[in-house]
Amino acid sequence: MELLENTRLLLSGNEAIAHGAKAAGVRFAAAYPGTPSTEILENFAKFPGVHAQWSPNEKVAFEVGIGASLAGARVIVCMKHVGVNVAADPLMTFAYTGVKGGFVLVSADDPEMHSSQNEQDNRTYAKFARIPMLEPSDSQECYDFVEYALEISERFDTPVLLRCTTRISHSLAPVALREWKDVPITGFEVDIAKYVMMPNWAKPRHQAVLKRLEELRKFTEETPLNRIEWGDRKIGIVTSGVSYQHAKEVMPEASFFKLGFSYPMPVKKLKEFAAQVEKVIVVEELEPFIEEGLKVAGIACEGKKFFPVYGELNPSIVQKGFAAAGLLAEPSMDVASPIQVLPRPPVLCPGCAHRSVFYALRRMGAHVFGDIGCYTLAALPPLEALHTCICMGASVGMATGVSQVQGSKRPVFAVIGDSTFLHSGITALLDAIYNKANVTIIILDNGITAMTGGQNHPATGKTLQGQKAPAVDFIALAKALGADHAETFDPYDFNASWETLKSAVKRPGVNVLVTTRPCMLFPKKLKDVPYQIIAADCNGCGVCLKVGCPAIARSGEVTDKGLAIPVIDDSQCTGCKLCADLCPVDCILLKSDLGKHTVVA
Amino acid sequence: MAKVTGKTGNKLKNKTKTDDTVMNILIVGVGGQGVVLASAILSEVALSAGYDVKKSEVHGMSQRGGVVSSHVRIGQKVHSPLIPNGQADVILAFERAEALRWVHELKPGGYLIVNAQKLVPPIAVDKKYVYPEDALEQLKTKVNNLRVVDAAEISERLGNARLANTVLLGALSNALKIDERIWREVIGRRVPKGTAEANLKAFTTGRSR
């Protein structure tokens, strides 16, 4: 590995993985966007001589990756932790067949659920699939570990899990870069006994997996990725990932066993380490993965007794843990307590086309089964018009389930974004149609994967690497699947939208309604002529304030009856006209029309 | 504004190989204000000045009006990307209520630079949620080293409201003993093409106040 002089860049963990993959000769990468993993592919896609793609979902991304690997290309496939659940089916059996070109699955976990629906610990998947796992602790390790992982993958004929967390993926740190390596693609070769997992061939492959695991158990004892940093022998800390950094900061004098290759664990080396320290403490986020491994190996240690099994760690929490263990003084108590300041929850953007749909659903008193995306924010006040959120695509199935048991006396809707629908809503729609449900599915089509920062998908007409692509026609798709009714509607026309939704409720069978307005942020920021409130005409009813638009606030002035008169912020208003459509006294006018309006004093 | 003369500030200036002091800077604001870019520029400045640096924040909600906070840690060797509770040497707040939300993270004797800007969240249409109109007064009672910068007013005077963040970086640069030339070099490189001169002027203005 040639080190490039003077190329020390500040990179996030995700950027570093992308650079590391390019340097290691990765030719193919696939993913579905998901925080905190998205930027890996966005950055990798910019390199010359690589194929990088968004797939409709993680399972497909993984399978396309398997194909590229069996063709001999080095491959990375990236996803957030819950994405691995979607890809778990091919993962569990790809662990049997093994690879040709090195194959690295990057799982970016989200302890603390900064942007996720759960905080599952995906280290468990390494053990479940019996595949090796590497855990980087900073951006430089993200960069370096990709190549290690690929070499391990090829040497031991196995997919490798590279497990990051939000604070690794989204922290910036300096990285020294190497020259790019060229790894040729060797081509697919038939090997039925290895690649056709029917029982007669899968059985010997399972034995191969177990044999491979024994070899990996030897390798993990030797790899420099697992290292001891000797310090004070009173305390021996076993740790991995970002937890290593927190612990190192809090206990700089202690002895450390830093696991970079954390499954299978180097049990012998750990036993030797434990024998030379008075007390072994395990510092890890979420599950007691390392701790249980040590205990099974008969190594006395403590961990989750002092550190939480939920949320992410930080130096303060780690310090408290060591204090609870009696190994450190209590953190000083002169830390000020937080001042209660009003919350500032994220909101739908000004002009977001989702807003009018949720306003209408709320007014209708509907039961709304939601999904994963920006529109999940509609659960929050003031809209409060979304009632469930489980996982990608669940909205359609859940609304169908309610309909099948006639479990709601209210109108029942599923709402799902365009990208989420393509990810895993299509099969659920097929289920609703096939099983003759009475349900209305609204595809909130804003033409982009918005929540994760504006990624293309199969209905945007463009690929990750900027090439033109066919765009899915949602109406044609719904009809081809056999939907009873499918139509588009313009969410910027509130009255027409209201009628469309009302008539769908009355219509039996499966209705598919598709919105037609683009996202206000992606692919480019949109803004039209703003609206303005004629204060003299305002009756203070407050309807426009209840749509939750960040551009509308109280002006501080009041009507004769003492009711608040709102004001529209020019710089934020995009001219979507929802407030004007809802205003009962028509006092919200397009700013460019104001000259034509006679103000009656 | 008084220069940082406290223990941390001096140490950052006179670093030695064995010095394990870490300078903690917390940049906070509202999604869409440019907190993430500002902390990226600060991090690059620190790297160019020869320090180890780590920066951490949470993406995802940052463009949708939520609370955004970015941790920047600078030193000879930085381990954790997160600032321990109550250990920020400097807080740069892009909005006054956000300064109040985060002020408990400031170290005793630390510096708070607050943009005078007021952004009332949409949730305040519900009377249950009251925007702290007296945020600056409250901050004055809590922080000795408080610097209020009216970045909007300054940038408008400079002829472009988009320069506000660079004005704030200028004010922040005063609290850190890093060569001004490094700041100017990084800002010149990082801002959109054709705006370098205006941004450098905004930086100087923020720094001189």
* DSSP sequence for A170-211: TEEEEEEEEPPP----------HHHH--SHHHHHHHHHHHHH
| Confidence class for position A5, pLDDT limits 50, 70, 90 | low
Among positive and negative, which fits the CA dihedral A496, A502, A506, A509?
positive
Please return the burial class of A256, using the count of CB atoms within 10 Å of its CB with bins 0-12, 13-18 and 19+: buried
**What is the fold, at CATH topology level, of the domain defined by A226-324?**
Rossmann fold (3.40.50)
Best CATH choice for the domain A531-596 from the list 3.20.20.70, 3.30.365.10, 3.30.70.20, 3.90.1150.10 = 3.30.70.20
For B84, list phi and psi in degrees, rounded to 5: -60, 155
Residue-level pLDDT at B14: 41
3-state secondary structure of A226: strand
- Which residues pair with residue A300 across a beta bridge? none
Beta-carbon count within 10 A of B144 CB: 11
- Categorise residue B92: left if φ over 0, alpha if ψ from -120 to 50, beta otherwise: beta
Contact A6, A174 (CB under 8 A): no
Domain boundaries, chain B: 21-116+141-207
Of A35, A336, A346, the CB nearest to B66: A346
Does residue B1 carry a pLDDT above 50?
no
Does residue B4 carry a pLDDT above 70?
no
- Structure confidence by residue, pLDDT tens digits, A169-181: 999 999 999 999 9
Residues 382-411 of A with CB under 8 A from B: 382
Domain boundaries, chain A: 3-222, 226-324, 354-515, 531-596
Does residue B6 carry a pLDDT above 60?
no
Among positive and negative, which fits the CA dihedral B2, B3, B9, B10?
negative
Closest CA to B153 of B193, B197, B182, B118: B118
Residues 131-190 of B with CB under 8 A from A: 131-132, 138, 142
CATH architecture classification, A3-222: 3-Layer(aba) Sandwich (3.40)
Instruction: Give the CB-side neighbour count of residue A342, counting CA atoms within 13 A.
Output: 20
- Structure confidence by residue, pLDDT tens digits, A434-487: 999 999 999 999 999 999 999 999 999 999 999 999 999 999 999 999 999 999
Residues 43-102 of B with CB under 8 A from A: 43-44, 47, 52-61, 63-67, 78-86, 97-98, 100-101
Q: Residue range A382-404: average pLDDT?
A: 97
- How many angstroms separate the CA atoms of B73 and A186, rounded? 45
Of A10, A170, A345, the CB nearest to B66: A345
Contact B152, B168 (CB under 8 A): no
Contact A244, A137 (CB under 8 A): yes
Residue-level pLDDT at A600: 41
- Is A36 an interface residue toward B (CB < 8 Å)? yes
Q: Complex ipTM, two decimals?
A: 0.93
**In the block, residue with structure tokens 């765009």:** A471
Say which amino acid occupies A452. T
Q: Residue range A579-585: average pLDDT?
A: 97
Contact B22, A245 (CB under 8 A): no
**In the block, residue with structure tokens 């990810």:** A423
Residue-level pLDDT at A412: 97
| pLDDT cut 70: percent of chain A above it | 97
Q: Do A172 and B103 touch (CB under 8 A)?
A: no
Residue-level pLDDT at A595: 60
Residue-level pLDDT at A235: 97
Mean residue pLDDT of chain A comes to 96
For B109, list phi and psi in degrees, rounded to 5: 85, 0
Q: Do A173 and B132 touch (CB under 8 A)?
A: no
Q: Do B65 and A549 touch (CB under 8 A)?
A: no
Ranking A134-148, A320-334, A572-586, B66-80 by mean pLDDT, the lowest is A320-334
- Structure confidence by residue, pLDDT tens digits, A494-535: 999 999 999 999 999 999 999 999 999 999 999 999 999 999
Beta-carbon count within 10 A of A551 CB: 23
Q: Residue range A254-262: average pLDDT?
A: 98
Does residue B19 carry a pLDDT above 60?
no
- Is A167 an interface residue toward B (CB < 8 Å)? yes
3-state secondary structure of A75: strand
Structure token digits, residue A227: 């290292």
Q: Cα–Cα distances in Å, from B149 out to A225, A574, B164, B166, B209? A: 48, 29, 10, 12, 8
| Sheet of strand A367-369: strand arrangement | A367-369, A412-417, A439-444, A510-515, A485-489
Decide if A3-222 and A531-596 have a common fold: no
> Regarding the domain with residue range B21-116+141-207, which homologous superfamily does it belong to in the CATH classification?
Pyruvate-ferredoxin oxidoreductase, PFOR, domain III (3.40.920.10)
Residue-level pLDDT at A178: 95
Determine if the peptide bond prior to A36 is cis (ω within 30°).
Answer: yes
Best CATH choice for the domain A354-515 from the list 3.40.50.1260, 3.40.50.970, 3.30.160.270, 3.40.50.300 = 3.40.50.970
Higher pLDDT, B99 or B64: B99
- Is A333 an interface residue toward B (CB < 8 Å)? no
Residue-level pLDDT at A331: 72
- Is A8 an interface residue toward B (CB < 8 Å)? yes
| pLDDT cut 90: percent of chain A above it | 94
| pLDDT cut 70: percent of chain B above it | 88
- How many angstroms separate the CA atoms of A568 and A582, rounded? 14
Closest CA to A245 of B141, B30, B77, B113: B77
- Is B2 an interface residue toward A (CB < 8 Å)? no
Among positive and negative, which fits the CA dihedral A272, A276, A282, A288?
positive
Task: Return all residues near A196 (Cβ < 8 A) that are at least 6 apart.
Answer: none
Q: Do A10 and B53 touch (CB under 8 A)?
A: yes
Closest CA to A173 of B14, B51, B93, B180: B51
Q: Do B80 and A170 touch (CB under 8 A)?
A: no
Å between A167 CA and nearest CA of chain B: 7
Nearest CA in chain A to B65: A346
Contact A549, A579 (CB under 8 A): yes
Contacts of A454 in chain B (CB under 8 A): none
Q: How many helices (H) and strands (E) does chain A have?
A: 20, 22
Please return the burial class of A593, using the count of CB atoms within 10 Å of its CB with bins 0-12, 13-18 and 19+: exposed
Please return the burial class of B121, using the count of CB atoms within 10 Å of its CB with bins 0-12, 13-18 and 19+: buried
Structure token digits, residue A466: 């900027």
Q: Do B82 and A138 touch (CB under 8 A)?
A: no
Nearest CA in chain A to B66: A346
DSSP conformation class of A423: H
For A524, list phi and psi in degrees, rounded to 5: -140, 155
Of B53, B82, B103, the CB nearest to A174: B53
Of B31, B54, B61, the CB nearest to A173: B54
Residue-level pLDDT at B62: 61
Packed helices A81-97 and A58-70: angle between N→C axes, nearest 10 degrees: 30
- Structure confidence by residue, pLDDT tens digits, A558-574: 999 999 999 999 989 99
- Structure confidence by residue, pLDDT tens digits, A221-240: 999 999 999 999 999 999 99
